[in-house]
Amino acid sequence: MNDLDQAKVDAFSGKMLDILNGSMLSLMIGIGYQTGLFEVMANLPPSTSEQIAVVAELKERYVREWLAAMVAGQIIDYEPTTNTYSLSAEHASVLTQVAGPNNMARLTLVIPFLASVQKAIVNSFHKGGGVSYSAYPDFMNLWAEINADRFDATITQKILPLMPDVVEKMRQGVDVLDIGCGDGHILNLMAQAFPNSRFTGYDFLENGIDAARAKAQSLGLTNINLEVKDLTSFNEPNKYALITAFDAIHDMAQPAKVLKSIADSLKPDGTFLMVDLAASSNLHENLDHPLGPWLYTTSCMHCMTVSLALNGAGLGAMWGEQKALKMLNDAGFINVNIQQIPEDIFNNYYIAKR
């Protein structure tokens, strides 16, 4: 221990303090999101804790302690001479509804949800296997909410126009399939926009399909069909003009088999749209990724483990562009074009044809 570089020890100790403080601060930011305090403060002049609590309809003592954490974390500004607090417009643009689908305050809610399965993940480190989807109801609902906001603003205006030939076919009327459709939100958006086309959604989680059916029914959609299906066994040759998979392939138990089934189920001139995380398959090329630690942690504590729980491949969220391209090629997709849109900081849009 005498040979330690003390400057390096001190620097790393400082980094660990930043991590510990940031972890705690993220919990308080999540509270600010859930209570609406950020939205309230974005519309207030510098105010006391009592004034903020009144407008937010919250208990002042809790608001005051929350404000102290926000000030200590340099999230909120404090004026000691007047004992007032304010949220700058710059910070509000990241923490409130102004940020749209890229609201970073909401993303902090992922942390306590994943922390709730930490013991089960530790057990999997020792015994193998994984943690099943049933352990993540709150996480799945949160991610559905995040994706809903993202795709509300982009699916018909930005994403589908990446494939103008497909859009024209959908206007005329074709069969479209969404793999791993979850609560069906994206399918509903497409079914509303293209009433002449017929939409099918498959997911192996029954509660997701139940929610999807309820939503479709509430919207009065008659051009949509939703089914609980084990995607490792689906095979519908030459049926679909478009198949989509939004943030789904890397979670699957048998992704290679599913990709092959997707290729076989497309019409000869059909298109597969795979939306998945924009990252490299090589760790050293992700070291400067702005969300690298966040995404690798999410992968270990959700994406990888739900696949391993099914004796699956355990690809993980950070399987990356190189591996994705290879697996698409192996499945029979010869022509793969990768696109991105500025409204989505997370994903690549793989447009694949046989």
Q: Using one digit for the tens of pLDDT, what is the confidence trace for 179-219?
A: 999 999 999 999 999 999 999 999 998 988 999 999 999 99
pTM of the model: 0.92
Concatenating the DSSP letter of every residue in 252-285 gives: -SSHHHHHHHHHHHEEEEEEEEEEEE---SSGGG
225: which strand partners? 200
CATH number given to 115-353 = 3.40.50.150
Average pLDDT score over the chain: 95
The whole-number pLDDT of residue 1 equals 61
Residue 108: alpha-carbon gap to chain centroid: 12
- The CATH architecture to which 6-97 belongs is Orthogonal Bundle (1.10)
CA distance 40 to 96: 9
Judge contact between 338 and 349, C-beta under 8 A.
yes
- Which residues of the chain carry a pLDDT beneath 50? none
In this structure, the number of other CB atoms found within 10 A of the CB of residue 197 comes to 20
Is 8 exposed, middle or buried, given 0-12, 13-18 or 19+ CB atoms closer than 10 A? exposed
- Nearest Cα neighbor of 105 from 78, 129, 76, 131 is 76
Which stretches within 153-266 are classed as H helix? 164-172, 185-193, 206-218, 255-265
**Residue 99 near residue 14 (C-beta atoms within 8 A):** no
Q: Largest Cα–Cα distance in the chain?
A: 75
DSSP designation for 61:
H
What's the confidence (pLDDT) of residue 141?
Answer: 82
**Domain locations in the chain as residue ranges:** 6-97, 115-353
Tokens of 29: 């930011």
At residue 82, the pLDDT reads 98
Q: What pLDDT, on a 0 to 100 scale, did the predictor assign at position 139?
A: 82
Please write the tens of the pLDDT for every residue from 133-170.
Answer: 999 888 878 888 888 888 888 999 999 999 999 999 99
Amino acid 163 reads M
Q: How many helices (H) and strands (E) does the chain have?
A: 16, 9
pLDDT at 51: 99
